[in-house]
Every structure is written in C-alpha cells, then in structure tokens.
Amino acid sequence: AQSVSQHNHHVILSEAASLELGCNYSYGGTVNLFWYVQYPGQHLQLLLKYFSGDPLVKGIKGFEAEFIKSKFSFNLRKPSVQWSDTAEYFCAVSINNAGNMLTFGGGTRLMVKP
C-alpha cells in the first residue's frame, strides 16, 4: 500500500519569507499528486495537482509544486508567504484504477506571523 510522508509537522514563518513544505510518497507505479489546504474551521480546498506532463505545476494563490520522480517527492513552494496563508497543508496521492481514493500525508501546520 502506498504511504505519504510530510516531514514538517509545524512551520512558523514571518510574512514575506519563502516556503517549502516537503512531501514524499512510497509507491513504485504511476501516481496522481495533490496539495490541499485547510484553513481553520474550513473544509479542504485543492491548491494544485499533478497528473502528467510538466513536473512543475502552478496552483492557486501563488503556490507551486515540483514532482521529482527519482526522489518520490512533490514539495510545495511559495516565494513569499502572507499572514492569510496560515493553515494546515496536506499532500495526497491517488493511484490509477484504485477507486481514486486519496492517501493523505499527516499534514503540516503553517503559521505566518504578521
């Protein structure tokens, strides 16, 4: 079974700092990769996704992620964070022909200080 690891559980940054959140998965086959964000008290929202093609994907709100197949990684980046980016970030993986069920990482709680 596949698994997803997010090594940073809590990240605290000041506004305008650059962000990189790590995500690694374990599965040898073809995967679809996602980053979701959960603002306090809200539901999960899709930030970006990778299915195929250009391994550098751009999402909403200035976020981007890079799929590095050799490293089984899909790290999330943003060059300059804002206070409003304070939220929980989840990396997720789905496997083709597996019911599209998402396997989530443990989440990274990001706090941006104004």
Partner 1 sequence: DTAVSQTPKYLVTQMGNDKSIKCEQNLGHDTMYWYKQDSKKFLKIMFSYNNKELIINETVPNRFSPKSPDKAHLNLHINSLELGDSAVYFCASSQGLNQPQHFGDGTRLSIL
Residues in touch with partner 1 (CB under 8 A): 32, 34, 36, 38, 42-46, 49, 51, 88, 90, 92, 94, 96-104, 106-107, 109
Closer residue to partner 1, CB minimum distance, 26 or 96: 96
Q: What are phi and psi of 32, to 5 degrees?
A: -110, 140
CA–CA dist 82, 86 (Å, integer): 8
CB atoms within 10 A of CB 56: 12
Closer residue to partner 1, CB minimum distance, 18 or 96: 96
Shortest distance, CB of residue 99 to partner 1, whole angstroms?
4
Closer residue to partner 1, CB minimum distance, 18 or 30: 30
**And the tokens for 50?**
């990778």
Which CA distances in Å does 107 have to 1, 20, 37, 97? Answer: 19, 13, 9, 25
Shortest distance, CB of residue 106 to partner 1, whole angstroms?
6
